[in-house]
C-alpha cells in the first residue's frame, strides 16, 4: 500500500479535493492511509476550502475501505477531521477511528460526547468509547481511565434525553463488567422498541457473560430481522453451543435472508465443533457467489482457530 501511495503525487490529490467540477477519483482514497506528516499538513492548509459535501463524502467513502482491509490506517487524517465544522464529517471521523488503540483519543472522544452540539456526533462518540472499555477490561489502559469512561457512559444512560445516544452508550457498556450495567441491559431487553432490543442483544454479545443465554436464544426467531441478526451474532460471541443446531438450519436454508445466513455462518465459526464444519464445507462447495464463498472460507478458517483453542483448553 505504501508503494501505491508513493506512486501518486500528493499535489494531484490536493487539486482533486479542490476541483468541484469533477468527482473525487476513488484511486486517491488509499492516499489517506498512513498519511505522512507533510501530506497531512498539505490537507490541513486547504481543508476549509474543500466543499463541505466533498469533505463529508470523502470520510464516508473511507469507511468501507477500512472495513474491507484492516491493514489500512486513517487515524491521523481522521483526527484532523474530528474538528471539522460539519457534524457529518465529525461523526464519520469518529467511526474511522474504530480500530485505533491510541488512549490519547479518549479525552477527545469523551469531550465530543459531552459537548458536541450534534446528537449524531455524540452518538458516534458514545459508540467510539466502547473500544476503550474493552481495552480497560484487558488491563490495556489504566483502571482509573476505564472508570472515567464507564462513569460517563453510565451518566448518559441515566440522564440523556436522546435515546440514540443512550443506545450507543449501552452497546459500549456491554464490554464492561461493572455491576450497574446488567440492569440497563435487562431494561432495554424488555422495551417494546426493537431498536432497544437490538442494542440490548448487541451489549449481551459483548459481555462475555452467559447469563444472557436464555434471552439470546429466545430472540433468534423474533419477527424483526435486525433483532434476529443481533441475536445470532450474540450467540456466536457468547459461544452458545445450545444454538448450534438452529444456526446450522439458518445457515443452510436457501430461503432465508442472506444477511441472516451469513451471520449464522460466522457465529457457527465462533461456537466451533465438528457438527458445524460439515455444513459449512457443503455450503462452500455449493457457493456460486464470490462474496459468499469468501465469507464461508473465512468462517472455516475461524472455525479451525476456535476448535484449536477449545482443544487446548484456552478460553479467549
240 Cβ partners below 8 Å, 6+ apart?
Answer: 210, 213, 216, 217, 271
Instruction: Express as a percent the part of the chain with pLDDT over 90.
Output: 91
Spell out the domains of the chain, with CATH numbers in brackets.
Answer: 1-100 (no CATH), 101-179 (no CATH), 209-316 (1.25.10.10)
Residue 312 has pLDDT above 80, yes or no: no
| pLDDT grade for 180, boundaries at 50, 70 and 90 | very high
100 Cβ partners below 8 Å, 6+ apart?
Answer: 75, 131
C-alpha cell read off for 124: 458516534
At 193-251, the pLDDT tens digits run: 999 999 999 999 999 999 999 999 999 999 999 999 999 999 999 999 999 999 999 99
| pLDDT grade for 316, boundaries at 50, 70 and 90 | very low
Burial category of 4 from C-beta neighbours within 10 Å (exposed 0-12, middle 13-18, buried 19 and up): exposed
C-alpha span between 170 and 182 (Å, rounded): 10
Phi, psi of 103 (to 5 degrees): -65, -15
Q: What is the pLDDT of residue 207?
A: 98
Q: Which of 128, 66, 125 is nearest to 98 (CA)?
A: 128
C-alpha cell read off for 252: 443452510
C-alpha span between 287 and 160 (Å, rounded): 47
Output the 3-class SS for the chain.
CHHHHHCCCHHHHHHHHHCCCCCCCHHHHHHHCCCCHHHHHHHHHHHHHCCHHHHHHHHHHHHHHHHHCCCCCCHHHHHHHCCCCCHHHHHHHHHHCCCCCCCCHHHHHHHHHHHCCCHHHHHHHHHHCHHHHHHHHCCCCCHHHHHHHHHHHHHHHHHCCCHHHHHHHHHHHCCCCCCCHHHHHHHHHCCCCHHHHHHHHHHHHHHCCHHHHHHHHHHCCCCCHHHHHHHHHHHHHCCCHHHHHHHHHHHHCCCCCHHHHHHHHHHHHHHCCHHHHHHHHHHHHHCCCHHHHHHHHHHHHHHHHHHHHHHCCCCC
At 55-113, the pLDDT tens digits run: 999 999 999 999 989 899 999 999 999 999 999 999 999 999 998 999 999 999 999 99
C-alpha span between 107 and 148 (Å, rounded): 10
C-alpha cell read off for 60: 464516508
C-alpha cell read off for 185: 441491559
Which is higher by pLDDT, 292 or 1? 292
Neighbouring C-beta atoms of residue 47, cutoff 10 Å: 15
Contact call for residues 59 and 79 (beta carbons, < 8 A) = no
Amino acid at each position: 500500500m505504501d508503494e501505491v501511495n508513493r506512486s501518486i503525487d500528493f499535489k494531484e490529490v490536493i487539486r482533486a479535493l479542490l476541483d468541484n467540477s469533477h468527482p473525487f477519483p476513488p484511486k486517491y482514497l488509499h492516499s489517506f492511509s498512513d498519511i505522512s506528516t507533510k501530506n497531512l499538513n498539505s490537507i490541513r492548509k486547504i481543508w476549509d476550502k474543500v466543499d463541505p459535501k466533498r469533505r463529508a463524502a470523502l470520510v464516508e467513502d473511507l469507511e468501507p475501505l477500512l472495513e474491507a482491509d484492516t491493514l489500512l490506517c486513517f487515524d491521523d487524517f481522521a483526527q484532523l477531521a474530528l474538528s471539522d465544522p460539519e457534524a457529518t464529517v465529525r461523526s464519520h471521523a469518529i467511526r474511522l477511528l474504530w480500530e485505533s488503540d491510541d488512549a490519547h483519543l479518549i479525552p477527545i472522544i469523551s469531550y465530543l460526547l459531552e459537548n458536541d452540539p450534534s446528537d449524531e456526533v455524540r452518538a458516534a462518540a458514545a459508540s467510539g468509547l466502547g473500544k476503550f472499555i474493552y481495552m480497560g477490561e484487558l488491563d490495556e489502559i489504566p483502571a482509573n481511565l476505564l472508570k472515567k469512561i464507564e462513569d460517563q457512559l453510565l451518566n448518559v444512560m441515566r440522564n440523556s434525553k436522546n435515546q440514540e445516544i443512550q443506545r450507543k452508550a449501552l452497546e459500549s457498556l456491554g464490554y464492561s463488567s461493572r455491576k450497574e450495567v446488567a440492569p440497563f441491559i435487562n431494561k432495554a431487553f424488555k422495551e417494546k422498541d426493537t431498536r432497544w432490543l437490538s442494542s440490548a442483544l448487541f451489549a449481551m454479545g459483548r459481555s462475555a457473560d452467559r447469563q444472557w443465554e436464555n434471552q439470546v436464544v429466545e430472540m433468534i426467531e423474533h419477527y424483526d430481522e435486525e433483532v434476529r441478526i443481533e441475536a445470532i451474532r450474540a450467540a456466536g460471541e457468547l459461544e452458545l453451543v445450545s444454538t448450534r443446531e438452529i444456526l446450522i438450519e439458518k445457515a443452510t436454508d436457501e430461503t432465508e435472508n442472506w444477511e441472516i445466513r451469513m451471520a449464522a455462518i460466522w457465529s457457527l465459526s465462533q461456537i466451533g465443533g465438528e457438527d458445524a464444519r460439515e455444513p459449512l464445507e457443503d455450503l462452500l462447495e455449493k457457493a456460486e457467489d464470490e462474496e459468499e464463498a469468501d465469507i464461508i472460507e473465512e468462517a472455516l478458517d475461524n472455525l479451525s482457530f476456535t476448535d484449536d483453542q477449545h482443544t487446548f483448553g484456552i478460553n479467549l
